[in-house]
Amino acid sequence: MSELRIDYDRVLRVLRRNDSDVRLCVRCGSHVYGTAREGSDEDFLVVLNDAEARQDLLWGENLNVVVHGAGTYAKALEDQSIFALEGLFAPAEHRLKDARPPFVYRRDVARLRDSAKARSDSDWTKAQKRFDAESSPKRVLHALRVLAFATQIAEHGAIVDFRVAGPWWARVRSGEHATWEALAKEFAPVRDGLLVELRR
């Protein structure tokens, strides 16, 4: 049995659903970005065939599953949600089940830019407010990566490099930033540059 099939069976057990209920299932998060550490949970995005199903988050042993109904996922794509687009463009080795029929995505660059900037602004603000929390470095990374992904989609029509944030993650986790000011001094210019690139 393939590794993807084993992972898919694990996801189905967490969902308490059958394969026929699922339209799309992909791996997401650190195991796709190349930033997973030993013991990192595995993250998955599942879209159910049920158009009326609500968005949800489920947990299993070392397993997190974001659940969409077909309706909420289609709306997220329309709204140019970067997370939804990560699922749409997930690399083949992380696609546990492809959507049949495939979801339709119409790129709207202006809305894509606005969506990515709003998400980046939110993560950056949360990172600053919660600097003492373990999640702060991750928030900084999210604030950068969402802009990089949006730029790829604007330029290429897809996310072409899911590991683009790897070097930033290495720096964020270097332990050299004892204060928020030190972290912001290094990464605020990076974020500003990504915003400029996205607006081109």
Alpha helices, DSSP H only, in the chain? Answer: 3-15, 30-33, 70-78, 82-88, 109-129, 136-156, 166-172, 180-199
How many CB atoms within 10 Å of residue 161?
Answer: 11
Asked if 85 and 149 touch (Cβ cutoff 8 Å), the reply is yes
Q: 87 and 116 share a domain?
A: no
Sign of CA pseudo-dihedral 159, 161, 162, 167: negative
Which of residues 50, 75, 97 is at a domain's end?
A: 97
Q: 27 and 53 share a domain?
A: yes
Give tens-digit pLDDT for 41-71.
Answer: 899 999 999 999 999 999 998 899 999 999 9
In-domain check, residue 152: yes
Closest by alpha carbon to 45, among 21, 62, 20, 28?
28
How many CB atoms within 10 Å of residue 191?
Answer: 19
Distance CA 139, CA 167 (A): 15
Domain containing 62 — which CATH number? Answer: 3.30.460.10
Q: 77 and 129 share a domain?
A: no
Query: How many structural domains is the chain composed of?
Result: 2
pTM (2 d.p.): 0.93
The residue type at 4: L
Q: Is 14 exposed, middle or buried (0-12, 13-18, 19+ CB in 10 A)?
A: middle
Share of the chain above pLDDT 70, in %: 98
Closest by alpha carbon to 97, among 55, 149, 58, 45?
45
Domain boundaries, position 113: 109-199
Q: 67 and 21 share a domain?
A: yes
Q: 57 and 126 share a domain?
A: no
In-domain check, residue 18: yes
Which of residues 97, 126, 154 is at a domain's end?
A: 97
Q: 87 and 140 share a domain?
A: no
- Write down the pLDDT at residue 135: 64
Q: Which two tokens stand for residue 36?
A: 């997973």
Give tens-digit pLDDT for 96-127.
Answer: 999 999 999 999 999 999 999 999 999 999 99
